[in-house]
A and B are shown apart, each in its own frame.
Chain A
């Protein structure tokens, strides 16, 4: 398996523009997580899905952020409008259910810069 695949790897956009980040989880994994990482706040959980259904979006910072998972192999995180404080590395991770020790596997991340 190719692992969790994220695109784009890097995104530079102007303030006010819409940004869409994409993620393909590992086949067979039924959980998908979106995290944001900054120096100040570390790795924050934004939202997670189980079987394509959003379970907890309490980490989404504000209404400008939205996430969807239309099918088991694809998810998007959208920021509209983007602001400079949204600059961070966004990670997608997936895992399978069933065991206590089931780890989350991470994608390579999208480094977002909003200027």
Chain B
């Protein structure tokens, strides 16, 4: 079992709708959780982090964490074509930051 698992997609969502991205992790010792966005040919950039159970909102983005289920999600409201990218889930365990393979999101105009 990989440490961080994501559905590779592509996930196609109409413009203006809610995009829901999911991630599971295997190590209960994981401490913090991150969502990075990566455009094609570019480096990953941080969108949000979360380390407490529950929801965390930042503009159109909401991160959700359920440590009991070892589950992290990212909701993108009012999806825009500029949101089309690969979204990487990452977990911090001890000093390391471990990434999933990412989910490709395509927003349909």
Mark A residues whose CB is within 8 Å of B. 31, 33, 35, 41-43, 45, 48, 50, 55-56, 91, 93, 95, 100-104, 106-109
Contacts and interface: CB of A to CB of B under 8 A. Distances in A.
Interface string B21-49: 00000000001101000000011111001
Interface residues of B, number: 21
B98 interface: yes
Contact of B44 (A31, A41, A106): A106
A101 to B, nearest CB: 4
Contacts, number: 49
Given A42-B101, A91-B43, A48 B32 contact: no
B44 A101 contact: no
B44 to A, nearest CB: 5
Interface of B: 31-32, 34, 42-46, 49, 51, 88, 90, 92, 95-102
Given A42-B100, A42-B102, A43-B88, A103 B95 contact: no
Contacts of A35: 99
Contacts of A106: 43-45
12 contacts: A33-B97, A42-B99, A42-B102, A43-B44, A43-B88, A43-B99, A43-B102, A48-B95, A56-B96, A101-B32, A104-B90, A106-B45
Contacts of B32: 100-102
Contact of A109 (B43, B95, B102): B43
B96 A48 contact: yes
B46 to A, nearest CB: 5
B102 to A, nearest CB: 6
A52 B73 CA distance: 34
A102 B92 CA distance: 9
Given A101-B32, A101-B51, A31 B43 contact: no
A64 B51 CA distance: 37
Contacts of A107: 43
Contacts of A33: 96-97
